[in-house]
A and B are shown apart, each in its own frame.
Chain A
Amino acid sequence: MGAGFRASMNWLHTWAGVVVGAVLFAIFWMGTLSVFDREIDRWMMPETRLAPVAEPASLDRIREVAQALAGDAPSLFISLPTERQPVLGIGFRKDGEFVSRNVDPATATLLPERGTLGGTGFIFPFHFSLNIKLWSIGYWLVGLAAMAMLALLVSGVIVHVKIFADFFTLRTDKKAPRVALDLHNVTGVLGLPFHFMITLSGLIIFVLVYFPNAWQGTFPDRAGYFKEAFGSYSRPKANQPGDPMSLDALSAEAVRLWGGGTPLYLRLWHTGDANAVVEFRRSYEDRVTMNTDTLYLDAATGAVLSRQTQQPIMTAQRFLSGLHFIQFRHWTLRWIYFALGLSGCVLIATGFLFWLESRRKRHEKQGLKGLGVVEGLTIGATTGIILATLSFFIANKLLPPGMAERQSYEAWAFYLLWAAGFAHGWIRRGQAWAEQSWAIAAAALCAPVLNALITGDHLARSLSKGQWAVAGMDLALLALAAIAALTARKLQRRPATTSRAMPGRAQGSTRGSTREGRQHA
């Protein structure tokens, strides 16, 4: 395990990074935003910016509202409001499609159709599936990228011998490759426990997606395994009209059975039938472990039909999932996750930058073309996706409410801008960095202005009304605008480093960078 092993790890780190870096950045960027997905929802769905209510409308009233909309749907879904999501949700299947609507918990009235996928419907699923549904390709790509991330972390630690010294090293006065490498090392080493934990736990969430046949040697069939592991309950319809108990009384019974635990959502099976069942899923707001505690109550009598809890190892799996999902109430930790997620983005971007800057001179001398391809890829993958995200937010404000297929146009605004970000990166090369940074600054400034103009919730108002989600999103956008503008200015003052620049001007002395360049060649 001498130099040969380290050389192999160096090769693995370099090329795995270049090949999957773009996908990894997208996953980390979307994951970082997903930390605040419900807050993004509030910003994107102004009709849901409701003040929290102390006494929400009765569940029986909500059932009537849902029933009126759902007709004879086989099951109804009701999610209860939380601190981060002040609306009730109802859902059901109609003509093969899942319909979901928001309900004002104070008045039990339907809110207008969302017309947007929002943070929870677009950004969050993008994080784990790239929103590619065909043959679950998205899941597998994300899984492969996550395994590559773990391999990158391990090989990165092996490559960097001076790991302790790297901890304290950030030389901003040095040339670009050195700064990129220092920043890569600082975020990589400082964030190592987080990056390893978040990547591994992300894989563990989908343990049965990635190892779909793990039951093969233990159970005769998949259904047998699922029954033991998750044990859902169902019973056939009686085909006779039933006399259901009050949902509020059933909910109180669930709380009593859980010793004070509150429900997160409920599902009504066979509504109106004598064999109707109400399923209660326990909230995990107060703990890391995302329990799967489920109660099935007889809708007519309130008798417990089935009660599920998890066994120890499954609880460990739910704990690791909870570490990743952060559905618990803890604002400090939520911000720390956000900051560490951003540090992951910096880690990936600086890895790319170091690859580019340490090769630029040599590749120019040898007339190699690969650098331009990777530079365009890096630009589209980093500044491009940030710009695309902002275009998604701006489209959300500019598209008229009530427009048909409104959410698809929002998604298109994202994908078109993202594609344009890559194209621009490949065409403009080095100049694209500053140009896209200016575009980010302008777009990030534009979004809160549009929010103020269209919804009326400008910063002074959202702050004074305690609309922290809306104010936080506006402030984050303004901070992004400031950072992007500063970056763009700094980039434009720097001597040009592209192949189009005069050969003599490119990068000046590279005495400090040749050593690292050789290491990573």
Chain B
Amino acid sequence: MADIASSPPRWQPAALLVLRLLAVIVGGYYLTAALVSLGAAGMAGIGLPGSEAVVLAAMLGFLVYLGLLIWGFAERRMRLLCLVFLGGPLLAQGLLYLQAGG
């Protein structure tokens, strides 16, 4: 327990902290929302009634977002973090766009 105090998280620079907060909270939400839409489409695709798939995916969305929040505040590799929380929503939205078009 004692070594906790001696190894503080290295997020001291304020700018990095703000970037992390925005990426994890806002980016994480958009990533979750896109995953919910995709997940619903996927579950509907394998035979679940559409409205049921949407509710199930959205309910699970809260747990996905919770997982992303916890990971986002524990991960120290800032680049990986930005890749997931900024690139992830874009990728998922792109997939959703393709899926809706096709």
Q: Which of B2, B40, B48 has the most CB of A within 10 A?
A: B40
| Chain B binding surface, main DSSP class | helix
Indicate which residue in B33, B48, B59 contacts A317 across the interface (CB closer than 8 Å).
B59
A3, B3: Cβ atoms closer than 8 Å: yes
B-side contacts of A239, CB under 8 Å: none
B69 touches A519 (CB 8 A): no
Q: Does B47 contact A (CB under 8 A)?
A: no
Given A207-B55, A225-B54, A519-B5, are A215 and B40 also a contact pair (CB < 8 Å)?
A: yes
Say whether B100 contacts A217, CB under 8 Å: yes
A228 to B55, CA, bound (A): 12
- Is A147 touching B37 in the complex (CB atoms < 8 A)? no
- State the CA gap A204–B74 with chains docked (Å): 26
Interface residue tally of chain A, by bracket?
35 or more
B23 within 8 A of A: no
- A150:B66 contact, CB within 8 angstroms: yes
The residue among A4, A10, A217 with the most chain B CB atoms within 10 A of its own CB is: A217
The smallest C-beta distance from A239 to any residue of chain B, in angstroms, reads 34
Given A214-B37, A228-B51, A313 and B56 touching (CB < 8 A)? yes
Question: Which chain B residues lie closer than 8 Å to A57 at the CB level?
Answer: none
Q: With A4-B76, A8-B73 in contact, is A311–B4 under 8 Å at CB?
A: no
Q: Which residues of B contact A335 (CB under 8 A)?
A: none
**Taking A217-B100, A228-B49 as contacts, is the C-beta distance between A3 and B37 under 8 angstroms?**
no
Residues on A with beta carbons closer than 8 Å to the beta carbon of B76: 4
A521 at the interface (CB under 8 A from B): yes
- Mask, B64-95, CB within 8 Å of A = 1, is 01100110011010000000000000000000
Q: Is the CB of B36 within 8 A of A211?
A: yes
Are A518 and B57 in contact, CB atoms less than 8 angstroms apart? Answer: no
- Once bound together, how far apart are the Cα atoms of A210 and B50, in whole Å? 19
B66 near A311 with CB under 8 A, answer no
B52 partner, pick from A6, A154, A314, A518, beta carbons under 8 A:
A314
Q: Is the CB of B61 within 8 A of A211?
A: yes
Interchain CB contact under 8 A, B70 and A7: no
B70 contacts A217, CB within 8 Å? Answer: no
Does A161 make an interface contact (CB < 8 A)? yes
B55, B62, B63, B66: the one within 8 Å of A313 (CB): B55
Contact of B9 among A8, A161, A217 (CB under 8 A): A8
Q: How far is the CB of B51 from chain A (nearest CB, A)?
A: 4
Q: Which residues of chain B come closer than 8 Å to A99, judged between CB atoms?
A: none
8 A Cβ contacts from A210-245 to B: 210-211, 213-219, 225, 228-229
A200 interfacial contact with B, CB 8 Å: yes
Q: In the bound complex, do residue B66 and residue A225 qualify as a contact, i.e. CB atoms below 8 Å apart?
A: no
Compute how far the CA of A70 lies from the CA of B99 in the bound complex, rounded to whole angstroms.
49
> Chain A's nearest CB lies how many Å from the CB of B37?
4
Give the distance to chain A from B3, nearest Cβ to Cβ, in Å: 5
- The CA-CA distance from A216 to B101 in the complex, in Å, is 11
Which of B32, B51, B70, B73 has the largest number of chain A CB atoms within 10 A?
B51
Residue of B8, B25, B40 touching A7 (CB-CB under 8 A): B8
The answer to whether B54 and A215 touch across the interface, beta carbons within 8 angstroms, is: yes
B15-52 vs A, Cβ < 8 Å mask (1 yes, 0 no): 00000000001000000110011101100100011111
Beta-carbon contact of A218 and B54 below 8 Å: yes
| A5 touches B (CB below 8 Å) | yes
Q: Is the C-beta of A11 less than 8 angstroms from some C-beta in chain B? A: yes
- A482 near B: Cβ within 8 Å? no
Chain A residues whose C-beta falls within 8 Å of the C-beta of B25 in the assembled complex: 144
| Contact of A151 with B70 in the complex, beta carbons under 8 Å | yes
CA distance A210 to B63 in the complex (A): 13
Binding site for B on A (CB under 8 A): 3-12, 144, 147, 150-151, 154-155, 161, 200, 203-204, 207-208, 210-211, 213-219, 225, 228-229, 311-314, 316-317, 320, 515, 518-519, 521
Residue contacts A-B, CB under 8 angstroms, 10 given = A4-B9, A5-B74, A12-B70, A154-B70, A210-B58, A210-B62, A216-B41, A218-B37, A228-B49, A518-B4
Enumerate chain B interface residues (CB-CB to A < 8 A).
1-5, 7-9, 11, 25, 32-33, 36-38, 40-41, 44, 48-59, 61-63, 65-66, 69-70, 73-74, 76, 96, 99-100
Given contacts A207-B55, A217-B41, 16 further A-B contacts (CB under 8 A): A4-B76, A7-B9, A8-B73, A154-B70, A211-B32, A211-B36, A214-B61, A215-B50, A216-B37, A216-B41, A216-B100, A217-B44, A219-B50, A228-B50, A515-B1, A519-B5
8 smallest CB-CB distances across A and B, nearest first, come from A217-B41, A229-B51, A228-B51, A313-B52, A518-B5, A8-B74, A211-B58, A214-B58
